[in-house]
Amino acid sequence: MCTIRYMSEKKLHLHPHHHLIDRSQRERMSGHHSMVVWLTGLSGSGKSTIASLVEQMLFAKRRRTYLLDGDNIRSGLNSDLDFSEKGRNENIRRIAEVSKLFTDAGIIVLTAFVSPFIEDRKKAREIIGEDDFLEIYIEASLTKCEERDVKGLYKKARAGIISDFTGIQSPYEAPENPDLRLNTERETALICAERLVHLIEEKISS
């Protein structure tokens, strides 16, 4: 598919930091374009559920994907950050930077974080680049999310055990013009995932 010839060592010596294998070659090896699919929404809105379904559907089509979420980010790279506004800003900045690296590696990145602030998501879009960024609003009312309370976090927030919890003590700023809006009260997670896969397929094949 791609013919690679080793550059002479002399040439390499002159430009030792030039990455000779670049994004377009990695994308070609993947068989599709890479990009970042940024899911935002309240805790319990269905971000991780949809992201997991989307990953399974894309995997079945042999797409290269990776999912960044609280499980693999908060416990590792961002374990030093708290949930203050400053901590949250830095959390989103690092996720955006890591997503950019994965995109450069030819991978479709799905991110599933509340990411409540418009300004932070705007910054993420700037870091990643307009062309590689899809903002997906996973929509469900606070009432519904609190009713689901999958991880019991709303209960803890109401009891004051958790502070700065989005929707309770901290605001959620909904996207005004998301690339896609998926309402998990009106549609099943499976339908939502299918709609998102459709959008991703359009973008990565173009």
Active-site residue, 115 included: yes
Q: Which one of 60, 131, 159, 205 is in contact with a second copy (CB under 8 A)?
A: 60
State the minimum distance, in angstroms, from the CB of residue 51 to a second copy.
9
Number of chain residues interacting with a second copy (CB under 8 A): 51
User: Is residue 72 a contact residue for a second copy (CB under 8 A)?
Assistant: yes
Please give the residues from 19 up to 38 whose contact with a second copy meets the rule CB under 8 A: 19-21, 25-26, 29
**Which DSSP string do the residues of the chain spell out, in sequence order?**
-----PPPHHHHHHSTT--SS-HHHHHHHHTS--EEEEEE--TTSSHHHHHHHHHHHHHHTT--EEEEEHHHIIIIITTT--SSHHHHHHHHHHHHHHHHHHHHTT-EEEEE-----HHHHHHHHHHH-GGGEEEEEEE--HHHHHHH-TTSHHHHHHTTSS-S-BTTTB-----SS-SEEEETTTS-HHHHHHHHHHHHHHHHH-
User: Is residue 118 a contact residue for a second copy (CB under 8 A)?
Assistant: no
User: Is residue 45 a contact residue for a second copy (CB under 8 A)?
Assistant: no
Please give the residues from 155 up to 184 whose contact with a second copy meets the rule CB under 8 A: none
- What is the binding site for a second copy (CB under 8 A)? 2, 4, 6, 9, 12-13, 16-21, 25-26, 29, 46, 48-49, 52-53, 55-57, 59-60, 62, 64-72, 76-77, 94, 97-98, 100-102, 104-105, 107, 127, 150, 188-190
